[in-house]
């Protein structure tokens, strides 16, 4: 009998230890705010780009849960580094939590109640400053002045009907906000509004990002590019 009780006790202790070493944690706003201060944390907002553009937790990157490529994009992150995720409430986050745990992420933190609880508890969101769109046709002379209006100028050639352009917009809004005081400016040019300029610069594909440093063209990016790629280019030219 004593041996049986000993075996049962060991089994119970093993289960409890397993609970304590769980790789997933659901945290309230206060605990979540402390965890995301850690440098190694990968903070991901899994709402749509439209939701993200209305405000996000400082330091977050956006990967849309409803994007068919969501799982593929998430699994490109470092699975050994802690991951912190949130959405508007917590519905999408709960689904993502299990999916990502099964994918092999070693530690995942989830914000309990999502941004609804975060704001209710008095925590703030970063509200991005939107890139100002061009509302008129821009001449080449005006364009030449604009690309010399800051140390680093990024010109975003886009169109209202272009889906990748719309996906890129909240990312550019966020970058514009983060670099507002670092002599970096992002300008948006609608190719339909500025047809002559687009033709002169041979803009054949959109979205197209042109990177200028002190008025000199340094690099171009065609198509949708993730935030980290754009930021890396900015940091390179700021040096």
User: Of residues 16, 19, 87, 162, which has the active-site annotation?
Assistant: 162
User: Of residues 16, 19, 87, 165, which has the active-site annotation?
Assistant: 165
Q: Which of 58, 122, 50 is nearest to 88 (CA)?
A: 50
Catalytic status, residue 16 = no
62 C-beta neighbours (distance < 10 Å), count: 21
Catalytic status, residue 87 = no
Distance between CA atoms of residues 120 and 133, nearest Å: 33
Q: Which of 213, 161, 225 is nearest to 190 (CA)?
A: 161
> Which positions are catalytic?
162, 165
């Amino acid at each position: 009998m004593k041996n049986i009780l000993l075996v049962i006790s060991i089994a119970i202790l093993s289960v409890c230890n397993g609970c304590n070493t769980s790789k997933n944690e659901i945290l309230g706003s206060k605990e979540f705010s402390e965890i995301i201060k850690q440098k190694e944390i990968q903070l991901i907002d899994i709402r749509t780009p439209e939701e993200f553009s209305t405000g996000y937790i400082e330091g977050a990157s956006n990967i849309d849960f409803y994007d068919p490529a969501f799982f593929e994009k998430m699994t490109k992150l470092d699975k050994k580094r802690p991951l912190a995720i949130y959405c508007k409430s917590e519905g999408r986050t709960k689904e993502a939590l299990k999916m990502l745990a099964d994918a092999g992420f070693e530690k995942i933190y989830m914000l309990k109640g999502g941004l609804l609880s975060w704001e209710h508890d008095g925590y703030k969101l970063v509200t991005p400053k939107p890139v100002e769109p061009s509302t008129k046709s821009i001449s080449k002379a005006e364009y030449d002045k604009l690309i010399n209006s800051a140390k680093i100028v990024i010109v975003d050639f886009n169109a209202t009907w272009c889906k990748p352009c719309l996906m890129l917009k909240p990312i550019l809004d966020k970058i514009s906000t983060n670099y507002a005081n670092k002599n970096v400016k992002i300008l948006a040019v609608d190719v339909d509004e500025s047809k002559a300029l687009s033709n002169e610069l041979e803009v054949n594909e959109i979205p197209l990002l042109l990177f200028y440093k002190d008025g000199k063209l340094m690099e171009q990016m065609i198509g949708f590019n993730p935030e980290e790629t754009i930021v890396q280019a900015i940091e390179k030219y700021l040096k």
